[in-house]
Chains A and B, each alone.
Chain A
């Protein structure tokens, strides 16, 4: 890789106070800070993992409301206790938020000093050699015929390019590392020179990118909970939907979303194509394909465009997306009162309850007789492939092969005028009595498409005109998506850099010979280090040793040639 880091300008002062070469005490403090922060990060990560788990073991409101209700019924004593601990909404509970926030703070507290240190390090010379070079990998030593200054200059010139290089003069006074200055004359001929070389600073760059991008992801998730919105609406074949708040069966939005900003689109469901498995016994009745053909008008008055919405294939409208989240049947029913007046006509969605689409619903007819006294409710089942035998009525296949409506009749007050938020799918909040036959059993009506039956007590007639399907659309907008995706891509890039780029350091220490020819020749030592241990280090150091040997040739063999690898540590 091309890590040709810009070396500091040659006129840099020899002892720049900004260099992270802090001396032994500074280094210790730096290490201590780093180790303690690593420990903090480790503990917080494990804490986050543990805090995340309960939300997968207990039912969560945000995932499945019904499951929470079931849990309450099954464990009436335990549930309120868990409720107080926030265990049915773990991911919005204060204690989960606390762990999240702590991690966030720690991450920020970790990144700022690391980024600063990394930027300084980027422009600084590679650090000086450790005293005991001979304990490091790839250690080689020999005597060179060149005097130290010349050897150092030659070696530094040869190594530069592949490595980023700095030159240090080892003096007894600490902190006098002369970065990249072969022109500096030695104050003392007997002090060793060190050519320090380094590659792979991008490893740390990657690490910094990674941790900063993690903050981006945490921010995106926070933005999602503030600015996203979502609504669910049922649309019957042939009918339309306008994107306004009242039209939704359920709607939630983030604290900062203004529902007045809902995009003004409209949609018409032309048809719903549904396919179930009917060949394979093992998966009989399993859903195979759902496709909703719709016409979308982006703004009032705009020409409509046709779209096909499938389970994995939403339609995009003005920052929002329309998903097909479910489907079912909506029998079209006419009701006439005892006077033969048509008092109700329309498609009534019945909600599927199981894999064979046994569906439940209620037909609500307000003010049956026109006197304002009595409402009518026809409640019961829709069975797409009905089988009625001594096991009772049920559906055996989700497609409409033998559709039947099975209804009971009730009269009374539906509670519609009181403006209660009663569901259109149930008789919750209504005050009605079921009409019974002479024997005391509830009267039940069975209808096939195209048939009519008389209601009991001369209440009128009901007609199952035809069968339509409905689609459940989930409309969602989450502006944080692109932010999260961008941060996630950076997370991956940074991660790969920080894990796969090896950071290598190598040192060439050139010590003047002692004895009669003091300072005229040199003892050259080469060794290196990597983080983490990498298989390429050995080869890189061998290559470096060869380059070093070529730039500062050894003393010819007859003149005391020493060149051997270390034998014992």
Chain B
């Protein structure tokens, strides 16, 4: 396979511009949060307290309080700019990953740089989809931040020249396994952001707590965040289960055993078990939303370790992925 270096160079340039655009989008999202928070101070407070103390309600999960207040205020202009920039960044990012794939004539995920950029793209695409279907601008800054950080680390630390694929990686099941892992990880990433926000909101909703800072006023109540984060985690968990199964099928094809306690396999299992614990914690008395959110945060820590740590620390069959 001949590497197309002009495409590879274009991919590198695109990823840098995507990072810049995402960064500006993130700042615009923050500005939007601040101005929406200011404008909707009173409405927010009413809805937040109602949402926190009432029983399960049927209000639309993704509807942030204060949306109405921001419809025609100047806040919505900066909000629209933020959304547009984010979508633009996603487009550049997508183009970069596609160019990389075209340059090497294969799926772009054979080293840590490609893993990180493609993984971040999955998060962007997921959130872009959410932005187009739901009113979730308030979440933008908290999703753009991990994307920008990942792309920064990818280009600064993990960067690798475009090259061909090792024989063990040329398999249909690998493509299935890895692409589903990317989607699941994207769901877990957005779910993680929501869980962290939920824990922060819990702090400000406690009896006698200080009022939330302005940036958080446009963010929904902990109860709403919990419900939303559960949906993402649930979908992520099903896909992660599929990832494990597809990985086992791949391992059976490539190495003749479907499970071999290789470090990467072990960590995928640990992640799965901790997310299963999260699902159980939600219905365990005394754990409730807050305890479960902490378990979800721990599970995401395992996921990050699997993505970035395992390839560098351990040698196993999967080590060529690093």
Contact = CB atoms under 8 A, between A and B. Distances in A.
B255 A62 contact: no
17 contacts: A45-B273, A45-B276, A45-B277, A46-B274, A49-B277, A55-B261, A63-B260, A64-B315, A279-B2, A288-B164, A311-B168, A485-B245, A492-B241, A492-B242, A530-B56, A532-B227, A533-B58
Contacts of B280: 38, 41-42, 45
Interface stretch (A183-191, A236-244, A495-503): A495-503
B316 interface: yes
Given A49-B274, A484-B258, A312 B248 contact: no
A504 to B, nearest CB: 11
Given A46-B274, A52-B273, A62 B261 contact: yes
B239 to A, nearest CB: 10
Given A137-B57, A492-B242, A67 B171 contact: no
Interface string A313-332: 11000000101010000000
Interface in B239-279: 241-242, 245, 248-249, 252-263, 266-267, 269-270, 273-274, 276-277, 279
A368 to B, nearest CB: 41
Given A42-B280, A67-B315, A312 B167 contact: yes
A491 B242 CA distance: 10
B274 A310 contact: no
Nearest to B299: A49
- Scoring B237, B263, B267, B280 by chain A CB atoms within 10 A of each residue's CB, the highest score goes to B280
A283 B164 contact: yes
A67 B316 CA distance: 11
The 5 A-B pairs at the shortest CB distance, nearest first, are namely A538-B58, A476-B256, A56-B266, A56-B263, A45-B277
A488 B238 contact: no
Contact of A60 (B55, B258, B261): B261
B213 interface: no
Contacts of B167: 287-290, 310-312
Given A41-B280, A288-B167, A56 B314 contact: yes
A35 B284 contact: yes
Contacts of A489: 245
Given A45-B276, A533-B227, A541-B58, A312 B254 contact: yes
A136 interface: yes
A91 interface: yes
Contacts of B276: 45
B151 to A, nearest CB: 21
A314 B253 contact: yes
A481 B258 contact: yes
A455 B122 CA distance: 65
A569 B237 contact: no
A53 interface: yes
A283 B165 CA distance: 9
Interface of A: 35, 38-39, 41-42, 45-46, 48-49, 52-53, 55-57, 60, 62-64, 67, 90-91, 135-138, 221, 224, 228, 230, 277, 279-280, 282-283, 286-290, 310-314, 321, 323, 325, 474, 476, 478, 481, 484-485, 488-489, 491-492, 495-496, 499-500, 529-530, 532-533, 535, 537-538, 541, 569
A280 B164 contact: yes
Contact of A283 (B163, B259, B263, B277): B163
A62 B280 CA distance: 32
Contacts of A60: 261
- Scoring A481, A491, A533 by chain B CB atoms within 10 A of each residue's CB, the highest score goes to A533
Contacts of A45: 273-274, 276-277, 280
B1 to A, nearest CB: 8
A323 B164 contact: no
A476 B257 contact: yes
Nearest to B255: A323
B234 interface: yes
Given A42-B277, A282-B160, 20 more contacts: A35-B285, A52-B266, A53-B270, A56-B314, A137-B56, A279-B3, A280-B161, A311-B167, A311-B168, A311-B170, A312-B167, A312-B254, A476-B257, A492-B241, A495-B237, A495-B238, A496-B238, A499-B235, A529-B56, A533-B61
Nearest to A67: B315
B163 A478 contact: no
A535 B61 contact: yes
Interface in B267-308: 267, 269-270, 273-274, 276-277, 279-281, 283-287, 295, 302
Contact of B310 (A56, A289, A488): A56
Contacts of A476: 256-257
A64 B249 CA distance: 22
Contacts of A530: 56
B168 A495 contact: no
Contacts of A224: 259
A230 B258 CA distance: 13
B166 A137 contact: no
B299 to A, nearest CB: 9
A349 B310 CA distance: 34
A365 to B, nearest CB: 36
Given A42-B281, A45-B273, A283-B163, A314 B256 contact: yes
Contacts of B161: 280, 282
B230 interface: yes
B289 to A, nearest CB: 11
Contact of A63 (B171, B287, B316): B316
B56 A478 contact: no
B274 to A, nearest CB: 5
A476 B257 CA distance: 8
Nearest to A32: B285
Contacts of A538: 58
A184 B170 CA distance: 69
B92 to A, nearest CB: 25
Contact of B252 (A57, A62, A290, A481): A481
Contact of A39 (B61, B230, B284): B284
B54 interface: yes
Given A41-B280, A60-B261, A311-B254, A49 B273 contact: yes
B230 A532 contact: yes
B273 A53 contact: no
A537 B310 contact: no
Contacts of B209: none
Contacts of B274: 45-46, 49
A63 B262 contact: yes
Contacts of B156: none
B60 interface: yes
Interface string B156-180: 0000110110111011000000000
Contacts of A57: 314
A312 B171 contact: yes
Interface string B46-79: 0000000011111011000000000000000000
Nearest to B169: A312
Contacts of B235: 499
A278 to B, nearest CB: 11
A280 B270 contact: no
B310 to A, nearest CB: 7
Nearest to B281: A42
Contacts of A67: 315
Contacts of A35: 284-285
B285 A478 contact: no
Nearest to B283: A38
Given A56-B314, A312-B168, A495-B237, A38 B284 contact: yes
Contacts of B260: 62-63
A541 B58 CA distance: 10
Contacts of B164: 277, 280, 283, 286, 288
Contacts of B285: 35, 38-39
Contacts of B284: 35, 38-39, 42
Contacts of A52: 266, 269-270, 273
